[in-house]
Structure 1
Amino acid sequence: MNDEIAKLSPQGLWENFYKLTQIPRPSKKEGKAIDFMEEFGKSLGLETIRDEVGNIIIRKPATPGYEDRMGVILQSHIDMVPQKNSDKEHNFETDPIETYIEDGWVTASGTTLGADNGIGVAAAMAVLQANDMEHGPVEALITMDEEAGMTGANALKPGILQGDILLNMDSEDEGELYVGCAGGCDANVKFTYTDAEVPADSVAFKLSMTGLKGGHSGMDIILGRGNANKLMFRFLKFAVANDEVRLASIDGGSLRNAIPREAFAVVTVPAANADEFIESLEEYEEIYKSELGSVEPFLSFTAEKTDLPSSLIDEVTQDDLINGVIAAPNGVMRMSTDMEGLTETSTNLAIVKSGNGEVIVQALMRSSVNTAIEALASKMESVFRLAGAEVSFGGQYPGWKPNMDSPILKTMQDVYQKKWGKVPEIKAIHAGLECGILGSAYPHWDMISFGPTIRFPHSPDEKVNIETVGLFWEYLAETLKSVPVKK
């Protein structure tokens, strides 16, 4: 384990982040980290509240002379996305994250880093610890299970928080202030199949689509990266039609909000067609590499002989599944006409998994326009119902509508310009920040999201830029000092 990051500057923030890397905190299994935060608040002698679902609220009084300032809520989420490379031995429920420093960035060895949103949590902790900062009343709101369902934000009750301004520290580009975000909805699809016999004179192969970059299904969907599920099923459709391939099992993707980096399938092929099948697979690997080019330089599509499976997915369901996945919308659906470069609507075909007589398909749809999510959900429902599957929707969360007249926006623009001689960019984000949900419970809040530069969140390539963490910390400290007087 590398504790070098604990020695970086600002040291208080980095020490806290290092401690978080040592505590397992995958979404829905972040109990140890919640306990840690509760004990942290109490150890400082600060009022600490743990609500019914596990959100932590820690209150710190204003420093002398700042008692009349508006109250600020420093908000981040405690959980992290558990993604690792297939060749990495790591248990996210028990093992610490192995961090290292490379070329000015902090990253992790073969796993997600958890800078999303551990850096924000660490910054809130550092503010609570600090004896040399000037600020009005501060509350740290550390929510749970943001990545896998926004559970903490959805469960937060009105009236518990006392502040007026929410600083969400979950954005990923230094020098940018976010004033809006997309809403989202999960599509849950289920195919039911019967076991079919393996044809005589068959051989079995395990297909592996690996080496893709994956990434955040909101932030990175615009980059045109390969979707392992889409690529796998594109080949399966060809192989079924041309090589008499039969599907025994499929395991593609792992998280609804991560672009799937890997997909695995076990198939059978008539022995007489095996050589032709392998040639087809190699040809498709070259096709994918040619189409995706420099976007996916490490793409690998391989077949390895394996034991014959005990049964197959029945042929009707197999064909329906393949057609459904091929036809399902995926990627950017529409760009915003109001904000240049912003993805308005997208969908991520995240998971396709078989087992126990069922194939589960999950997709996360996002949009800054609520009616566009409804239209996309309708399209998804039509595709999969035509394919004979059951379709349901859940996990809906609202977007956050920009308020360009926001007082804290004006304050933070002024602070940034005075400190660094330039105006920060004002943006909306195609990701599901908790602000939309939290603002529904606390409609009077004035909200901004900001943070240091993080790249490739939700993937094992995740990294955070060290220099921008320092800038982010300076900006946070100066903003807290500059918060307006409460009227």
Structure 2
Amino acid sequence: MSDDLLALHQDASKKALEQLPEPKRFWHHLLMCLETPRPSDDCGLIRSKLEAFAKKEGLDFAKDSAGNVRIRRPAAPGYEKSTKLIIQGHFDVVCSKTHDKVHDFYKDPVLAIVEDGWLKADRTTLGADDGAGVAAILALLEDKDLKVGQLEGLFTAEEETTMAGAENLEPAPFLTGNVMINVDSEEPHSVCVGCAGGFEKLVRVPVKRVAATSQQIAYRIFLHGLMGGHTGTDINRNRANALQILGRVLDHVTRAQIPFHVKSIKGGNAPNAIPRDCTAVVYVTKEFGAAFEESLGEGYEMVRKEFEDLEKTKPDGPNDKKAWQFEVNTVESKVEDLITDEATTRNILDVILTAPHGVLRMVPGLQDQVDLSVAFSIATLDPVDLQRAHKVDEFIAHLFCRGTSMAQMEAADRNFDAYSRLIGAYTSGSATPFNKFPGWEPNLKSAALAEVLSAHRQLFGREPHVYSVHAGLECGLIQGRYPDMDCTSIGPLIEAAHSPDERLKIDTVEPFYNWLRTSVVNIAESTK
């Protein structure tokens, strides 16, 4: 991060903090998170800042072999016998941006913008998922007026990718509490009591190539500006998948009997984000060039109209960046370029058209709740010059399955294997899924839940919404390491997580924080 960029961010943060309401200590820590690059595979800087915080506050700091951080605050005098509490969140973020935004998630801070009652970023993920949780934990740990039993802040690693932090969490005595409030939820006045598990799968399609000829012209096709969203909580909203849209448009071209060959395809940037953009470089015989462009336009317009009631598919003007954009441009063609042969082109297109994406099963009796889903979230066909680095030439479709039932997910896993065999492909890890994590089974008799519900009634005079989410929280994995852990989860309102449209509703933060703090106090008092 350059000194100039850091100074710019710190100036913007200072101005943002002046506009933000109480609790100021929460916002101070959130803005610290935003200034700190923290992609899942490079979180050394945020760990260092957490260690510095612990040292400044005189609190015990520990880091385990999985990269998780624990900060322990001792019990206040008179509260030594109170329940030992853990407040847990994760410090890594999903790295997603619009195609026109220049941003290095490994070096650059996220600039916070206060707009119409929301905190957002400039065309990148904000990082309130779960920077808001980290901020809430730090605010509690430094609150000198908070009189409670022992309080442990648990900050987990790699939640947004492999969940390896929670999966490999060091056993006791790394943590000594047995009641945990997770602060990675995104619905206000709501208590999450369960979540889906999941796994990832790579479908690999062997590729055969031929040399381009001087009679061919190369086109770059770029679709971007789709809504995207979370592959769990947004999977039932029927949002467009850029990979599927481009597949349908190219299929329209084939039905017009216009042959083409593919040099490269790239779409999607994270397994847990619905693809909002996709690009492909294809070769077409020059005599078909005009017909190819016309057919692409026809196919795109046909698909665009299907989604105009769900997404903003038509720009208001040439500078409207918040709507779908479909760009087709000629690029330099080279005779030595290697492009897919006719059979491979058809096979790749068929994979894109038939790759599973969407809801597979709803919860019986609860038709508004997803039970099983799959997202076709990333597709890659690298040009040959990049493939040579690992000597494999293949088209890769990345699937992310979520479900509340392990049996249902295992059945889906076998179905993906069957699908791969039918299309002449093979799956990752010899038919073994990876990044597999369990769900979190609801426990409506939880003592922690009872206290959190009571605190909400005390503060707001009404019951909060109790729900299970079709997304991944770390509670189930943590219970695997600490079987007696009693868990529940709350948070402020965060919209469009995992996308550049992510935003945090400012006026939901104070109620969330007060609710969390009151819950902590009530648990301490009731067990004193």
TM-score, scaled to structure 2: 0.90
How far did residue 359 of structure 1 move? Answer: 1.9
The answer to whether 1:303 aligns with 2:333 is: no
Where does the alignment leave 5 or more consecutive residues of structure 1 unmatched? Answer: none
- Take 1:300 and 1:378, find their aligned partners in 2: how far apart are those partners? 37
2: CA distance, partners of 1:148 / 1:106: 24
In structure 1, the residue matched to 2:452 is: 412
Residue 459 (structure 1) aligns with: 499
**What SS is found at the alignment partner of 1:349?**
strand
Pairing 1:101-250 to 2, within 5 Å after superposition:
101-159=114-172, 160-241=174-255, 242-250=257-265
C-alpha offsets along residues 112-160 of structure 1, whole Å, 9 cap, x if unaligned?
A: 0000000000110111111112322110000011101101101102212
Contact 1:207–1:266, Cα closer than 8 Å, also in 2: yes
Partner SS for 1:261: coil
Aligned residues: 487
Matched, 1:321 2:348: yes
Q: Secondary structure at the match of 2:152?
A: strand
Give the aligned partner of residue 26 of structure 2.
13
Query: Which among 511, 514, 523 is matched to residue 471 of structure 1?
Result: 511
The one-letter amino acid of 1:401's match is E
Per-residue deviation, residues 230-255 of structure 1 (Å, max 9, x unmatched): 11112223323421111111001111
Letter in 1 for 2:221: L
Give, in whole Å, the separation in 2 of the partners of 1:275 and 1:158: 64
Conserved? CA contact 1:57–1:142, under 8 Å: yes
Q: Secondary structure at the match of 1:293?
A: coil
1:248-281 residue CA offsets vs partner (Å, 9 max, x unmatched): 1100111111111100000111222222221222
Measure the CA separation in 1 of the matches of 2:151 and 2:408: 37
**Range 125-134 or range 269-278, more displaced:** 269-278
3-state SS of paired residue (2:307) = helix
Counterpart CA distance in 1 for 2:183 and 2:367 is 23
Moved more, 150-159 or 87-96: 150-159
C-alpha RMSD over aligned residues: 1.5
Question: 1:221, CA displacement in angstroms?
Answer: 1.1
* C-alpha distance in structure 1 between counterparts of 2:70 and 2:366, whole Å: 34
- TM score, norm. by length of structure 1: 0.97
Question: Do residues 270 (structure 1) and 265 (structure 2) align?
Answer: no
3-state DSSP of counterpart to 2:218 = strand
> Are 1:187 and 1:394, in contact at CA under 8 Å, matched by a contact in 2?
yes
Partner of 1:352: 379
Match of 2:276 in 1: 261
Q: SS where residue 208 of structure 1 aligns?
A: strand
Q: Is the 8 A contact 1:251 1:264 kept in 2?
A: yes
Match of 2:426 in 1: 390
Q: Which moved more, 1:60-69 or 1:39-48?
A: 60-69
Task: Quote how far apart the aligned CAs of 1:35 are.
Answer: 1.8
Return the match for 2:401 from 341, 352, 365.
365
Q: Once the two structures are superposed, what CA deviation does each residue of 1:403-443 show, in whole Å capped at 9, x if it has no partner?
A: 01111111111111121011001000000100111111111
User: Residues 188-245 of structure 1: CA distance to partner in whole angstroms, max 9, x if unpaired?
Assistant: 1222323311144211110111110111111111211111111111222332342111
Matched, 1:380 2:420: no
Structure 1's 69 and 340: CA in aligned 2 closer, same or farther, altered over 3 A? farther
Partner residue, 1:428:
468
Paired amino acid for 1:80: V
Q: Deviations over 1:320-368 (max 9, x none)?
A: 2221221121011122125452211111101111121222221110011
* Counterpart residue identity of residue 358, structure 2: G
1:46 to 59, 69, 72: 59
Q: Percent identity?
A: 35
State the secondary structure of the residue aligned to 2:61.
Answer: strand
Q: Tell me the SS of whatever aligns to 1:324.
A: helix
Which residue among 439, 443, 446 is the counterpart of 1:403? 443
Alignment equivalent of 1:81, drawn from 75, 80, 94: 94
| Stretch of structure 1 that moved more, 202-211 or 268-277 | 268-277
